[in-house]
Amino acid sequence: MTAVKKPKPSNYVLFAVTVLLAFLFIYPVLFALMSAFKSNGDILKNPIGVPTSLYVQNFKDLFEQSDFTTAILHSLFLTIVSELLIVCIVPMAAYGIERRKSRTTSLIYTYFLAGMMIPFHLYMFPLFREMKLMHLFGNMAGPIVCYISGSIAFGTLLYCSFLKGIPLEIEEAAMIDGCTPFQTFWKVTFPLLGPCTGSMVILNGLGIWNDYLMPYLVLPSGIAKTITVEIAGFVGQYTARWDIVFAGTIISIVPALIIFCMFQKYFVKGITAGAAKG
Amino acid sequence: MNQNNSSGKKFDKTAFAFIAPAFIFFTLFIIVPTVSSVYYSFTSWDGISPNVKFIGLANYKEIFTSARFGNALKNTVILTVFISIFENSIALGLALIVDNVRWGKNFFRSAFYIPVLISGIVSGFIWKIMYNYNFGTFNAILGNLGLDGWKQDWLGNSALTLLMIGVVLIWKGAGYYMIIYLASLQSVSTDLIEAAQIDGASPFQRFKAITLPLISGAFTINLTLSLINGLKVFDQINVMTDGGPGFTSETLVYLLYKVGFNEGRQGFGTAVGIMLLFIIIILNTIQQKFLRSREVQM
């Protein structure tokens, strides 16, 4: 590249347009954030105004009037346990497919990818019946097994494309040193797949954290389910208490935002790698 | 154990051990229910009773004759096409902006991506309040501008409902497709563009002759993804309108859900799901054909 050019007027115009667009895109989130710190009366009287003081009563009410703590714990539990199991299962499958190429393994790869087309809504009724038979309905194991199954197609695709870029020589050296294939994978190859694991865990984890239909239908009623299910319930139940619902939405958004800010490049890598082959 | 040259054609035991857990989960919780849903679509199953009655093609007959299915299909097509067109054009616009803006590229990329992080339920709730007739943002702004005549019951006006839901989905989805466009824009070599510049091509000509053909791959992928995601919309409809007013925002997925869980007709619901799968398979086949013809070009 040549030396830094002086900014042209068009640079300023584009910058101004971008700032405006970015504001429009972030506005609904700002709106939720501002409303979460307003009293209900304030939200109704002055929907576009900035909160006048740091009003935290909504958050107190949220935790006092509903079992939101349980909902948070459930969301965390589902996300973390599913991701741990996914990381145990999916990269191994991709390794088996990519490093032991045969007609059967490439057939299995196609079989997995075909699964990406099947919408969850299509098979949910028979799935729930099957889960009831297997005693997976009405407890935390139910959503977890479904999240694992649902992650296999995209995860395999992602890991297979990353594995292509990992040189075989390192694995061969480990094998010569007496490692079993299992040890070779977990001790040598898997650590090299770190960025891929990061991308998959983050994109997948966000999907689980934000999922609604599965926990809503599968977890037993009468208790707080997950954050999203509680919020959807509030919308019907506390029609007059938007302040409480806004406090809940902020609790749902903030962890996702923090993870995004910390691991931005993994989001980008995962999305683009998925699209390149999808 | 010198099996290093075993990259042959035989399926070996190690591969089996590595793949088996994923294979079992996938088969058990996706393929088995999918295949059995073909069976349930020929039954009058209510979702609760253990005996399932086979009724032949009756569900499919109802699909092709009932006005409710026709309405849901129409709503699905309107919503999906509306979302796909705007999601893609806005995403491409944002990608071009982020790629060309002089300051704060990373910041703006993140800003446009933030809506993607928000759950369907939460985004639906936030916008539902913004659309509210008495206390919502839109009518408040219109009021402040003195345009009281333009105030609307945004979600209650059946002519607008679907489009208003579409706006939420476009806002929430555009950032995702922007990332894909951006990656392909950044893979366009600057040499090519500079060469065209020297040859005197205008910015528009450069975009049309160089950038556009090179990002056509990203376009095909994004279009397919946005069409398929549009077909599967559920959470926002659930929070914002519950399919109403009347049936104006009832899409195929929402119809499937309602007949299955509120009306105890899971056999019929499953048949609707099979139709949805057909649509997705057709879209995917078209995309595959397109992609292949593109790969030759590149």
* A42: in domain: no
**H helices present in A37-119, as ranges:** 40-45, 57-65, 68-99, 103-114
> Treating both helix axes as pointing N-terminal to C-terminal, what angle do A242-262 and A264-277 enclose, rounded to 10 degrees?
80
Task: Give the residue from B13, B29, B193 with the most A CB atoms within 10 Å of its CB, the best one to mutate.
Answer: B29
Question: Using one digit for the tens of pLDDT, what is the confidence trace for A111-139?
Answer: 998 888 899 999 999 999 999 999 999 89
Secondary structure letter of residue B235 according to DSSP: H
What average pLDDT score do residues B23-32 get? 96
Pair A69, A63: CB distance under 8 Å: yes
Beta-ladder partners of B43: B54
**Looking at beta carbons, which residues of chain B come within 8 Å of A268?**
179, 183
Pair B86, B93: CB distance under 8 Å: no
Q: What pLDDT does B181 receive?
A: 92
* A30: in domain: no
Q: For chain B, what are the domain ranges?
A: 66-297
CA distance B7 to A104: 13
CB pairs under 8 A between A and B: 277
pLDDT at residue B1 above 50?
no
Given pLDDT bands bounded at 50, 70 and 90, which one contains residue B2?
very low
Share of chain A above pLDDT 90, in %: 50
Task: Give the residue from B1, B34, B122 with the most A CB atoms within 10 Å of its CB, the best one to mutate.
Answer: B122
What average pLDDT score do residues B33-40 get? 92
What average pLDDT score do residues B147-173 get? 91
What average pLDDT score do residues A91-97 get? 94
- Which range (A124-128, B13-17, B78-82, B279-283) has the least confidence? B13-17
**Chain A neighbours among B 149-168 (CB < 8 Å)?**
none
**Chain A neighbours among B 167-206 (CB < 8 Å)?**
171, 175-176, 179-180, 183
User: In this complex, do B119 and A228 lie within 8 Å of one another by their Cβ atoms?
Assistant: yes
- Which range (A5-9, A156-160, A265-269, B275-279) has the least confidence? A5-9
* A103: in domain: yes
Task: Give the residue from A1, A42, A122 with the most B CB atoms within 10 Å of its CB, the best one to mutate.
Answer: A122
Higher pLDDT: A273 or B109? It is B109
Domain B66-297 of CATH type 3.40.50.720: no
Q: What pLDDT does B11 receive?
A: 61
CA distance A140 to A81: 10
Nearest-neighbour CA in chain A from B268: distance (Å): 11
CATH code for the domain of A235: 1.10.3720.10
Q: What amino acid occupies position A216?
A: Y
- The residue segments making up the domain with residue A241 are 67-277
Given pLDDT bands bounded at 50, 70 and 90, which one contains residue B5?
very low
pLDDT at residue A101 above 90?
no
pLDDT at residue A225 above 80?
yes
| CB half-sphere exposure, A70, CA atoms < 13 A | 12
Which helix (DSSP H) or strand (DSSP E) does residue B238 occupy? helix B235-240
CA distance A100 to A109: 12
* A175: in domain: yes
Phi/psi for A118 (5° steps) reads -75, 120
Other CB atoms within a 10 A radius of the CB of residue A178 amount to 9
**Looking at beta carbons, which residues of chain A come within 8 Å of B14?**
96, 100, 181
A31, A118, A150: residue with CB nearest B137: A31
Question: Using one digit for the tens of pLDDT, what is the confidence trace for B82-106?
Answer: 999 999 999 999 999 998 888 888 8
Q: What separation in angstroms does the CA of B3 have from each of A28, A176, B190? A: 58, 10, 46
User: In this complex, do A272 and B111 lie within 8 Å of one another by their Cβ atoms?
Assistant: no
Nearest-neighbour CA in chain A from B159: distance (Å): 23
Nearest-neighbour CA in chain B from A161: distance (Å): 16
- Which range (A205-209, A252-256, B294-298) has the least confidence? B294-298
What average pLDDT score do residues B200-229 get? 84
Q: What pLDDT does B112 receive?
A: 95
Other CB atoms within a 10 A radius of the CB of residue B249 amount to 25
Global pTM reads: 0.88
Given pLDDT bands bounded at 50, 70 and 90, which one contains residue B298?
very low
Nearest-neighbour CA in chain A from B241: distance (Å): 11
Q: What pLDDT does B128 receive?
A: 92
Q: Which residue of B has its CA nearest to A151?
A: B26
Q: What separation in angstroms does the CA of B276 have from each of A173, B163, B232? A: 49, 21, 9
Q: What pLDDT does B7 receive?
A: 44
Share of chain B above pLDDT 70, in %: 94
* A158: in domain: yes
CA distance A225 to B182: 38
Higher pLDDT: A46 or A230? It is A230
Mean pLDDT of chain A: 88
Given pLDDT bands bounded at 50, 70 and 90, which one contains residue B3?
very low
CA distance A165 to A105: 19
Most confident of A95-109, A234-248, B207-221: A95-109
Given pLDDT bands bounded at 50, 70 and 90, which one contains residue B114?
very high
* A59: in domain: no
Q: How many domains does chain A have?
A: 1
- Which range (A6-15, B32-41, B175-184) has the least confidence? A6-15
Pair A216, A124: CB distance under 8 Å: no
Q: Is B266 in the A-facing interface, judged by CB distances under 8 Å?
A: yes
CA distance A188 to B207: 45
Share of chain B above pLDDT 90, in %: 49
